[in-house]
């Protein structure tokens, strides 16, 4: 498959943005400047970007608790994201969602999800909309290896097959379900999804080109009425389950080896297919990414909190929530 | 035109599907067979086709979740949760996902979703097919809960449920399906949060929910024979709840019996009694009486089920207790 310079530029810019976004918010979080829980996506960048590169705003994704990378890959603006992670009024969700529930309907990003396995039924519904209204859109659920054991995921797999929905089950197998190593061998998740009656494939999640090729095929299948696809992208979780988890349960030597071997950025840059992206343009992208992060962090930390009356807004469309009477 | 609740719901589904092509009906057996256990969706497939009348596997999390995802992205689904007891296998999609979309996404989302579900005892269907459970749902911000007690209300409230933009659980009491009354022809929409005065009276207020509104009306007839003028109020929607009409009635009568087929702890009867105790204390001439089912599961045996469900005699007895206070 040939890649245009525009595609290579977008792929690199998005992966680099995710990488540096995560490093920056991790640093801000450690300084106590961001509330709640955050879950780092480092080293899984090629999965989000490879998965979403061919999507438009009429395609949908349902994300997970580890969702910042999915947001960026799907086109969410850093400013709105940064404001939301800081839980400010002008954030994507007016500060009411935060990191674990961030969403952007204008981009077809149907929400991060703090319930493991919560997203796939919702993504199936978005696929049903695309099919019923004949929009040509597809819907993708991101699913961790931990979530792969949830009943909701099995129900969504089955429904997608029965209704032949334009849907992609994008598994990200980083081998850790929170603090517990998932005992399933590589490929078992794809095998299980395939048993529902859909094509399934295992790809190297640190190889952008492998992820993108698999997703391009799955998206085309969905757009052409060919039904759902499952993809198991194999990766290694770089940081802990949530930020602040010291990962004492992991073997240090193994973790260091996985971190180096699983880094998708050098792998992308060293690939001959990336040659058209020259050193100058990479440097330009890098400096633009850092500048945008500086700008948005500064803006988000200084931005206004929601006023107390906002507690009651947006519970229902036609009336507000309330304290009592 | 005189028709049963079952027929009124069926008619409204036909009318709303004809009115808006985004309305789809989905659930177990809604298209095939006789149109559900009681034939409520009969004839829809012939009229609107399987693309809009969607039979699903027995997969409640996927039905509810996919209906939510479809509503979030442009359809107006009417999903069927065959019995409300099946909340036990899909509550996450309603509680943590659908109910919270609008709030946690900062007002970006609209979720025009109706979940039709059967409630109630009286048909010998036992512990797992006869519960009420609507107090659990009314307690969740972001969901509206509707409990029609006659065919006219069923038509007007279902039309409103389908046309408005929030998630609604529409509770159909299975022992009321065949009850007939006059139903207005043509476009008939009842706004939520408006109670119906079933019988006007001056001595005592009987507030009955769902099937209990019918029993309260029968109790009012018995009380009238003894020279007692009972006012019967049917709130029709539990969330939003027409507190104003209940308080207005109590301000006139000074006495209140709330009749609710729920189990007693945290029931709607408790909620309404608490609301009146807090905001209508000065109106009360006697303690509020709650008539509910006991704190037991619903027994299968008809002889015990009869004991379980509040009766007209229970309502009359509680009314007299309040009057004799």
- Chain A residues touching residue B70 (CB < 8 angstroms): 125-126, 128-129, 132
- Chain B residues touching residue A104 (CB < 8 angstroms): 108
CB contacts under 8 A, A 138-157 vs B, are: 139, 151-152, 155-156
* pLDDT attached to residue A324: 64
The answer to whether the Cα torsion of A234, A238, A241, A243 is positive or negative is negative
Which phi and psi angles does B144 have, rounded to 5°? -105, 145
* pLDDT attached to residue A323: 73
**Residue A277 Cα distances to A8, A269, B151, B199, angstroms:** 7, 8, 68, 79
DSSP class of residue B36 equals S
Nearest CA of chain A to the CA of B17: how many Å?
14
User: CB–CB of B77/B24 below 8 Å?
Assistant: yes
Residue in the block written with tokens 């442009």: B74
* A5-246+262-303 CATH pick, 3.40.50.20, 3.40.50.970, 3.90.180.10, 3.40.50.2020: 3.40.50.970
Rg of chain B taking only CA atoms, in angstroms: 19
Residue B303 CB contacts under 8 Å (≥ 6 apart), including other chains:
none
* pLDDT attached to residue A1: 76
Judge whether A80 is closer than 8 Å to chain B, CB to CB. no
Q: What is the DSSP string of B113-154?
A: -EEEEEE-SSSS--TTS----HHHHHTSTT-EEE---SHHHH
Residue A233 buriedness (CB in 10 A; 0-12 / 13-18 / 19+): buried
Whether A152 and B92 lie within 8 Å, measured CB to CB: yes
The answer to whether the Cα torsion of B16, A318, B273, B94 is positive or negative is positive
Judge whether A323 is closer than 8 Å to chain B, CB to CB. no
- Chain A residues touching residue B52 (CB < 8 angstroms): 132
Residue in B with minimal Cα distance to A155? B62
As a whole number of angstroms, the distance between CA A17 and CA A292 comes to 9
Residue in A with minimal Cα distance to B59? A155
Residue in A with minimal Cα distance to B99? A315
Phi-psi region of B169 (alpha: psi -120 to 50; beta: other; left: phi over 0): beta
Domain regions of chain B by residue span: 2-182, 196-324
Residue in the block written with tokens 């007209």: B312
Reported ipTM exceeds the 0.90 cut: yes
* pLDDT attached to residue A182: 84
As a whole number of angstroms, the distance between CA A241 and CA A262 comes to 17
Judge whether A86 is closer than 8 Å to chain B, CB to CB. no
Q: Enter the tokens of residue B179.
A: 């009850």
Instruction: Tell how strand B237-239 and strand B144-146 pair up.
Output: antiparallel
Whether B65 and A318 lie within 8 Å, measured CB to CB: no
Of B66, B105, B166, the CB nearest to A103: B105
Domain covering B2-182 assigned CATH 3.90.180.10 in the classification: no
CA B47 to chain centre: 27
Whether A118 and B74 lie within 8 Å, measured CB to CB: no
User: CB–CB of A150/A189 below 8 Å?
Assistant: no
- Chain A residues touching residue B163 (CB < 8 angstroms): none
As a whole number of angstroms, the distance between CA B5 and CA B28 comes to 20
Domain regions of chain A by residue span: 5-246+262-303
Confidence grade of residue A215 (pLDDT, cut at 50, 70, 90) = very high
Residue in the block written with tokens 């770089």: A238
As a whole number of angstroms, the distance between CA B112 and CA B75 comes to 8
Whether B279 and A156 lie within 8 Å, measured CB to CB: no
Confidence grade of residue A20 (pLDDT, cut at 50, 70, 90) = very high
Catalytic (active-site) positions of B: 129
Of B61, B73, B107, the CB nearest to A151: B61
**Residue A95 Cα distances to A248, A311, A323, angstroms:** 32, 11, 20
Residue in the block written with tokens 């899984």: A44
* pLDDT attached to residue A322: 81
pLDDT along chain B (325 residues), means of 10: 97 98 97 86 96 97 98 98 98 98 98 98 96 98 98 98 98 97 97 98 98 98 98 98 98 98 98 98 98 98 98 98 97
CATH class of the domain defined by B196-324: alpha beta
Q: Enter the tokens of residue B232.
A: 């019967």
Q: Which residue of B56, B103, B141 to mutate against A (max A Cβ within 10 Å)?
A: B103
Of B65, B105, B165, the CB nearest to A121: B65
B273-301 as b/e: b if 16+ CB within 10 A: bebbeebbeebbeeebbbbbbeeeebbee
Whether A118 and B24 lie within 8 Å, measured CB to CB: no
Nearest CA of chain B to the CA of A134: how many Å?
11
Rg of chain A taking only CA atoms, in angstroms: 19
Whether B141 and A94 lie within 8 Å, measured CB to CB: no
**Do the two domains B2-182 and B196-324 of this chain adopt the same fold?**
yes
* pLDDT attached to residue B37: 82
pLDDT at A313 over 70: yes
* pLDDT attached to residue A183: 85
The model's pLDDT over A154-164, given as tens digits with 9 standing for 90+, comes to: 999 999 999 99
Between chain A and chain B, the number of residue pairs with CB atoms below 8 A apart is: 163
Whether B106 and A93 lie within 8 Å, measured CB to CB: yes
A17, A42, A12: which is closest to A174 by C-alpha?
A: A42
């Amino acid at each position: 498959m040939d890649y245009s310079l525009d595609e290579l530029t977008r792929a690199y810019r998005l992966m680099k943005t995710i990488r540096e976004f995560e490093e920056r918010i991790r640093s801000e979080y450690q300084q106590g400047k961001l509330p709640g829980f955050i879950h780092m996506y480092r080293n899984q960048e090629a999965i989000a970007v490879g998965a979403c590169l061919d999507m438009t705003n009429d395609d949908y994704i349902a994300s997970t608790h580890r969702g910042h990378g999915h947001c960026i890959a799907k086109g969410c603006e850093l400013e709105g994201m940064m404001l939301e992670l800081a839980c400010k009024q002008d954030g994507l969700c007016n500060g009411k969602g935060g990191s674990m529930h961030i969403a952007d309907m204008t981009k077809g990003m149907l929400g991060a999800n703090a319930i493991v396995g919560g997203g796939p039924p919702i993504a199936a519904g978005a696929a049903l909309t695309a099919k019923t209204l004949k929009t040509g859109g597809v819907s993708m659920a991101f699913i961790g290896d931990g979530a792969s054991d949830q009943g909701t995921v099995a129900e969504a797999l089955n429904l997608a097959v029965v209704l032949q929905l334009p849907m992609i089950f994008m598994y990200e197998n980083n081998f850790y379900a929170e603090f517990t190593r998932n005992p399933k061998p590589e490929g078992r998740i794809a095998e299980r999804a395939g048993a529902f009656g859909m094509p399934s494939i295992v790809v190297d999640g640190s190889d952008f080109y492998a992820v993108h090729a698999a997703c391009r095929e799955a998206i085309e299948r969905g757009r052409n009425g060919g039904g759902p696809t499952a993809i198991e992208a194999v990766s290694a979780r770089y940081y802990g389950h949530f930020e602040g988890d010291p990962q004492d349960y992991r073997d240090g030597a193994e973790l260091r080896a996985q971190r180096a071997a699983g880094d998708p950025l050098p792998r992308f840059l060293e690939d001959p297919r990336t040659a058209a992206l020259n050193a100058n343009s990479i440097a330009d992208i890098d400096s633009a990414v850092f500048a945008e992060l500086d700008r948005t962090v500064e803006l988000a930390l200084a931005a206004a909190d929601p006023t107390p009356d906002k507690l009651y807004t947006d519970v229902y469309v036609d009336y507000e929530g309330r304290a009592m009477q | 035109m005189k028709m049963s609740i079952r027929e009124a719901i069926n008619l409204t589904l036909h009318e709303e599907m004809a009115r808006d092509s985004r309305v789809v009906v989905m659930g177990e057996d809604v298209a095939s067979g006789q149109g559900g256990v009681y034939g409520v969706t009969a004839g829809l497939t012939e009229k609107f086709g399987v693309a809009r009348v969607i039979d699903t596997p027995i997969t409640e999390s996927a039905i509810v979740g996919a209906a939510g995802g479809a509503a979030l992205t442009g359809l107006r689904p009417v999903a069927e949760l065959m019995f409300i007891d099946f909340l036990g296998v899909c509550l996450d999609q309603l509680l943590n996902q659908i109910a919270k979309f609008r709030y946690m996404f900062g007002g970006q989302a609209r979720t025009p979703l109706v979940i039709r579900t059967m409630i109630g005892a009286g048909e010998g269907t036992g512990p797992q097919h006869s519960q009420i459970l609507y107090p659990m749902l009314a307690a969740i911000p972001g969901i509206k809960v509707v409990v029609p007690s006659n065919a006219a209300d069923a038509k007007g409230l279902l039309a409103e449920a389908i046309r408005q933009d929030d998630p609604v659980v529409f509770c159909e009491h299975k022992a009321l399906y065949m009850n007939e009354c006059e139903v207005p022809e043509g476009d008939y929409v009842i706004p939520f949060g408006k109670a119906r005065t079933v019988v006007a009276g001056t001595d005592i207020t009987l507030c009955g929910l769902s099937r209990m509104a019918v029993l309260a009306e029968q109790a009012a007839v018995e009380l009238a024979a003894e020279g007692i003028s009972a006012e019967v109020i049917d709130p029709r929607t539990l969330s939003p709840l027409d507190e104003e009409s209940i308080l207005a009635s109590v301000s006139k009568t000074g006495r209140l019996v709330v009749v609710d087929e729920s189990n007693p702890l945290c029931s709607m009867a408790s909620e309404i009694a608490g609301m009146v105790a807090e905001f209508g204390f000065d109106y009360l001439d006697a303690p509020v009486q709650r008539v509910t089912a006991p704190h037991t599961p619903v027994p299968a045996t008809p002889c015990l089920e009869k004991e379980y469900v509040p009766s007209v005699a229970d309502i009359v007895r509680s009314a007299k207790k309040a009057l004799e206070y």
